[in-house]
Homo-oligomer: A and B are copies of this chain.
Amino acid sequence: MTAAIRIAPTRAARALNLLRTVQYAHPPSCPCHSNPSHQHHHPSLLPSTLKHARRLATPVDVSQQKEYAFEMAASSIRFGPGCTKEVGMDFRNMGAKKVMVVTDKTVRKLDAMKQVVEGLEREGIPFEVFDGVRVEPKDTSVREAIDVAKPYQPDAFLAVGGGSVIDTAKLMNLYTCFPDADFLDFVNAPLGKGNPITKPLKPLIAVPTTAGTGSETTGTAIFDLVSKRAKTGIAHRNLKPTLGICDPLNTRTMPSAVHASSGLDVLCHSLESWTAIPYHERVPRPNNPINRPAYQGANPISDIFSLQSLRSTVQYLPRAVKDPDDHEAQSQMLLAATLAGVGFGNAGVHLCHGMSYPISGQNPGYKHAGYEVDSPIIPHGVSVAVTAPAVFRFTGASNPERHLAAAECFGVDVSQVKRESAGEVLSEALAEFLVKLGDQPRGLKYLGFTKDHVDALVEGTIPQKRVLMLAPSLESTDVEAEREQLRSLFEEALEY
């Protein structure tokens, strides 16, 4: 056995045992109970006929029926240094005749785009490049992009860039396939109508140039809805790319500060999906599988991805940030970002992400070190991680075993830790990790927020129903109580 194997004798064992024990502590509710005409017999779930009879007599409130199934979907993933150049052959293989290449003005100059263009030209695939994607897209910029795609009528899309680029390409694909749809039709409720995407879209290949969003594997696209002054998005399995091409050569161009903040996004994707409410606690049960959300709560398959990406991130992110030549760590972070994408793409995120949107949107003027931009910016990864110590202290009581397992991933010996301290212990481990990573704001205060901003931050979080519904420990039925909890979370997050 190698030295590496002796370092962490108990952490993963406990975590993996959790995969097998925690998830099934509460068996999924039985679908038959809600459907008296169902003929299936399974005696172990029907302890008494009395119980059944009582249910038959009481009208069922379908809005309170819990979920009984989960669905796992992910883009195909190709991973390898140099595999970007294969993309021309991929489009030839699918018979594409008009490819819309989506990128931004920074990525357009990078080697990833050079490889892509050479690959397409080598195979004689006609294409057009749209490089107008803006970082942290707004519905207005997305609509402009859609207006470019519609007249071109592409039969396939290729996104080359970070999460903003990939998300914009997904939306260009969606609204080109549904040209008559109103923009709000598919936008997450309650801001939009939240309609499901009822047919497959055109093929989309995503080539990430950051190791963060995991957008190359998910059916999620995030943007600012300017009219509502809120960050929201569209989430449906049919939005996911056909293939994610994860080429570690493409993330070498990231500056250290971008390695850090995109890696913190991975960290929170892992932690939030691992600690989200289990899928069988989510209400309501969908009346049609097409309405089963992608963000469905933790489940036994997403758990595997979330835990593995958490462990990889703790191990490799500090190396990737500190040494621009540590290509092994960078490669591992790209893989971790993709694994986390599969995890949260099928389980969801919760408080860190829900609270991050108003944090970024209501930025009092903070400009993150290492970002060469003209205007203030709180990078997405920074805005999710800044509340993480407060969030996981708060959620600890909901599932102490999972919070302790997460703390072990950070190297904490939890063998003597009481269950009641699980949240506190994970919170401290997280804070220590963030401090050691360097250049991270130690709370909202360091971004320029004060107690006076808290009410506005709370009001900006309340509409994030899609992620808040997966938050453990959060009041889901009483909005005033929820508001109070969020207020105290933001206050706690002012400094760690």
A residues apposed to B, CB below 8 Å: 1-2, 4-5, 7-21, 24, 27-28, 30-32, 38-40, 42-44, 67-74, 76-83, 85-86, 89-90, 93-95, 111, 114-115, 198-199, 237, 249, 252, 288-290, 299-301, 304-305, 308, 311-312, 315, 325, 327-328, 332, 335, 339, 401, 404, 414-415, 419
Contact = CB atoms under 8 A, between A and B. Distances in A.
Given A5-B14, A5-B401, A289 B72 contact: no
11 contacts: A13-B13, A20-B312, A31-B85, A38-B85, A40-B111, A68-B81, A71-B78, A72-B78, A73-B76, A304-B304, A304-B305
B288 A89 contact: yes
Closest 9 CB pairs between A and B? A69-B80, A31-B82, A12-B16, A73-B76, A12-B13, A69-B83, A71-B78, A72-B77, A12-B12
Nearest to A200: B94
B12 A9 contact: no
Contact of A93 (B24, B252, B290, B304): B290
A307 to B, nearest CB: 9
A83 B288 CA distance: 11
B21 A81 contact: no
B237 A76 contact: yes
A52 to B, nearest CB: 15
A95 to B, nearest CB: 8
B20 A2 contact: no
Given A289-B89, A415-B1, A40 B82 contact: yes
A32 to B, nearest CB: 6
A89 B290 contact: yes
A339 to B, nearest CB: 7
A79 B296 CA distance: 12
Nearest to A300: B335
Given A1-B414, A93-B290, A78 B70 contact: yes
A85 B311 CA distance: 38
A312 to B, nearest CB: 7
Nearest to A93: B290
A339 B304 CA distance: 10
A328 B86 CA distance: 44
Contacts of A237: 76
Nearest to A338: B301
Given A237-B76, A300-B335, A17 B13 contact: no
A8 B17 contact: yes
B81 A315 contact: no
Nearest to A83: B69
Contacts of A93: 198, 288-290
A43 B198 CA distance: 48
A308 B304 contact: yes
Nearest to A16: B12
Contacts of A38: 82, 85
A67 B80 CA distance: 9
Contact of A78 (B21, B199, B289): B289
A47 to B, nearest CB: 13
Contacts of A304: 304-305, 308, 339
B68 A30 contact: no
Given A77-B71, A80-B68, A89-B288, A4 B30 contact: no
Contacts of A327: 42, 44
A166 B319 CA distance: 46
B20 A332 contact: yes
A89 B287 CA distance: 10
A71 B205 CA distance: 13
A85 B32 CA distance: 11
A60 B13 CA distance: 46
